[in-house]
């Protein structure tokens, strides 16, 4: 963390403007250098840029608390390079007149605050946390989510006691800063402060740097935001599933689950919630949000909500995150039992990301020995298997919602527009019901007859890839599903046939995956579906579910409307992922 000595400060509409106080030097080497030489008689004054105030946006404020005498300490982050954030701590002294002319005295607008009572601009006073802050409680409610739960302390008494007490107007300043810092831009969603987080680190996932990434890019952020953090490193496969399934009162203990991994740990956590035996599975799935600190090869969840795989940007999004409903997908697959002459049983699995068969599955699972290469292994694998024009014969049956681009575009626009005004309910009980430790499929299982209104995909014998999913990005440079929406009740389905593409077209399709324009190509079938069934041949092959290897046997997938919950940046919580250009 970079530390500064002392700033003069003023509250403005968009944040806090600070200026190094006379006789004080900041942590910037350039500022220190100019401050030193400015004392010499032959030196000209410091450059004007060093005398101009710097703005700390409210979104970048992590915490504010009392310091000595008439000062407060502010913990915040600054974007030091593109999408790279660095934590800082500074001491501030608030004055009405900072001695520079380019900033006028502004009063705070309350249009985007939870508390609609007028808040006057405080007099020049110090700001500290008030002791009565510990008495405040926050109902975990969000009108957009359609539910409310029990009361929780806003600030724990133990941590508040360690802070200096505040008085009157001093407390006014800090309460204004914290309210603005932890209120979403829509002005109606209160961001949970000092989140209680369960951090799951997979030390062996992806390139194997999860522990280092957490230590270097996230841990200090959470400490400066005064989050209550429990860190557990997974030691074996399904460890995260076991923790999500077996941890008592996990919903009451935590405000979110941070997955320091690729896409495997989120998959395990969701299926662990589903398998809980205490009757809290539905509540955990719907109301205990998960998020991802990007540490794997794909990092689709983090990229789809943050726009890239920056670990520091993801860390800030965790602290300032709000809950957003997402659709999940239910996959059923037959599983043989060990009992002689017994019938196969149905195994149910929740999928949050994707299912892939054909060239994409081979590019994913067939390049496991190259995990050390990170996302590059997907690119090389996709290039090799696509240009080989290999065929993967199978039978595919689909329940379509929209098949042509115009209908998909209309669906996309209408859904986003309606979401801003009226968030979809977290769960359509007609489509999703818990059944013990499983879920009740709407379309039956893979062992049932194919529903009559499902259509068989033509030319299945020439299929080269089938990719179905719910997130726009599958890695930082692959936008597989540009029309994907968090909770629109559909699965995006992408299908190609080997005989319909030349080598040049295949290469063009691969290159267009970066910006999602492959969805516009005539030889690519891109549709929105409610469910599908794939019946592969009995020979060996790859089937990838959320990046994990599954048996190469028939399977069926259907959408579970708004059955899960993500922790996302406030600007993403309005019913869509990051901008895809669709």
- 268: helix, strand or coil: helix
Written as six digits, the tokens of 305 are 């909500």
Instruction: Please give the angle made by the CA atoms of 257, 177 and 116, to the nearest 5 degrees.
Output: 95
Dist. CA 207–CA 261, nearest whole Å:
10
What DSSP assignment string belongs to 182-223? TB-TTSS-BPPSS-EEEEEE-TTSTTS-HHHHHHHHTHHHHH
Token reading at 271: 């299926």
Q: Could you tell me which residues come within 8 angstroms of residue 540 by beta carbon, excluding any fewer than 6 positions away?
A: 552
Judge whether 214 and 169 are in contact, CB under 8 Å: no
Token digits for 60?
């970048």
Q: How far apart are CA 448 and CA 555, in angstroms?
A: 11
CB-facing half-sphere around the CA of 578: CA atoms within 13 A: 18
The CA distance from 574 to 488, in Å, is: 12
Torsion over CA: 90, 93, 97, 99 (sign): negative
Q: Which of 142, 172, 255, 263 is catalytic?
A: 263
Residue 319 to residue 570: CA distance in whole angstroms: 11
Distance, in Å, from the CA atom of 484 to the CA atom of 81, rounded to the nearest integer, reads 30
**What are the residues facing 543 on neighbouring strands?**
357, 550
Question: What percent of the chain is helix, strand and coil (3-state, nearest 5)?
Answer: 30, 30, 40
**Residues 563, 328: contact at Cβ < 8 Å?**
yes
CA distance 232 to 353: 24
Structure tokens given for 179: 């309210």
The encoded tokens of residue 177 equal 């800063």
Picking from 273, 274, 269, 325, the residue whose alpha carbon sits closest to that of residue 292 is: 269
What tokens appear for 476 in the block? Answer: 């930082």
Per the CB < 8 A criterion, the answer to whether 387 and 506 are in contact is yes
Active site (annotated) includes residue 263: yes
Where does 366-478 have alpha helices with state H? 376-387, 405-421
- In 3D, which of 271, 261, 468 has the Cα closest to residue 354? 468
Nearest to 282 by CA among 317, 325, 311: 325
Q: Could you count the other beta carbons within 10 Å of the beta carbon of residue 507?
A: 14
Residues known to be catalytic: 263
């Amino acid at each position: 963390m970079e530390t500064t000595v002392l700033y003069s400060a003023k509250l403005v509409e968009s944040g806090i403007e600070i200026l190094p106080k006379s006789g004080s030097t900041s942590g910037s080497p350039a500022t220190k250098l100019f401050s030193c030489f400015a004392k010499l008689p032959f030196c000209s004054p410091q450059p004007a840029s060093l005398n101009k105030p710097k703005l700390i946006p409210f979104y970048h404020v992590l915490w504010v608390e009392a310091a000595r005498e008439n000062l407060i300490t502010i913990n915040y982050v600054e974007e030091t390079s593109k999408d790279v954030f660095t934590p800082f701590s500074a001491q501030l002294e608030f004055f009405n007149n900072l001695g520079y002319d380019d900033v006028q005295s502004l009063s705070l607008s309350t249009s985007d605050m939870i508390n609609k009572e007028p808040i006057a601009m405080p007099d020049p006073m110090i700001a500290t946390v008030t002791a009565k802050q510990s008495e405040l409680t926050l109902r975990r409610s969000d009108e957009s989510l359609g539910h409310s739960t029990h009361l929780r302390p806003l600030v724990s008494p133990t941590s508040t006691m360690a802070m200096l007490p505040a008085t009157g107007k001093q407390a006014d300043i800090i309460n204004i800063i914290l309210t603005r810092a932890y209120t979403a831009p829509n002005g109606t969603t209160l961001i949970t402060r000092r989140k209680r987080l369960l951090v799951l680190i997979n030390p062996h996932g992806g390139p194997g740097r999860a522990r280092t990434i957490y230590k270097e890019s996230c841990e200090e952020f959470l400490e400066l935001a005064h989050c209550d953090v429990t860190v557990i490193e997974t030691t074996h496969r399904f460890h995260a599933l076991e923790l999500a399934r077996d941890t008592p009162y996990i919903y009451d203990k935590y405000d979110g689950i941070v997955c320091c991994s690729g896409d495997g740990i989120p998959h395990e956590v969701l299926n662990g919630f589903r398998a809980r035996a205490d009757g809290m599975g539905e509540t955990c799935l719907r109301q205990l949000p998960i998020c991802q600190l990007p540490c794997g090869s794909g990092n689709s969840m983090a990229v789809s909500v943050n726009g890239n795989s920056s670990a520091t940007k993801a860390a800030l999004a965790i602290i300032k995150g709000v809950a957003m409903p997402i659709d999940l997908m239910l996959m059923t697959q037959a599983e043989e039992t060990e009992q002689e002459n017994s019938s196969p049983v149905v195994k149910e699995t929740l999928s949050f990301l994707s299912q892939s068969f054909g060239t994409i599955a081979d590019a994913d699972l067939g390049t496991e020995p190259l995990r050390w290469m990170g996302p590059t292994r997907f690119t090389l694998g996709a290039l090799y298997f696509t240009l080989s024009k290999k065929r993967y014969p199978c039978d595919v049956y689909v329940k379509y919602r929209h098949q042509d681009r115009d209908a998909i575009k209309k669906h996309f626009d209408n859904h986003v527009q309606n979401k801003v005004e009226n968030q979809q309910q977290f769960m359509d009980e007609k489509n999703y019901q818990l059944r013990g430790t499983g879920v009740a499929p709407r379309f039956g299982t893979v062992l049932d007859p194919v529903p009559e209104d499902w259509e068989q995909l033509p030319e299945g014998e020439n299929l080269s890839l089938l990719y179905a999913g719910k997130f726009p990005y599958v890695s930082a440079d692959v936008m597989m599903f540009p029309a994907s929406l968090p909770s629109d009740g559909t699965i995006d389905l992408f299908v190609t046939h080997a005989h319909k593409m030349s080598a040049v077209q295949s290469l063009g399709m691969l290159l267009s995956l970066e910006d999602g324009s492959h969805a516009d190509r005539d030889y690519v079938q891109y549709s929105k579906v409610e469910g599908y069934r794939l019946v592969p041949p009995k020979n060996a092959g790859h089937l990838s579910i959320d990046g994990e290897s599954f048996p190469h046997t028939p399977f069926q997938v259907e959408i579970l409307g708004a059955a899960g919950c993500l922790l996302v940046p406030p600007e993403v919580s309005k019913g869509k992922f990051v901008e895809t250009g669709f």
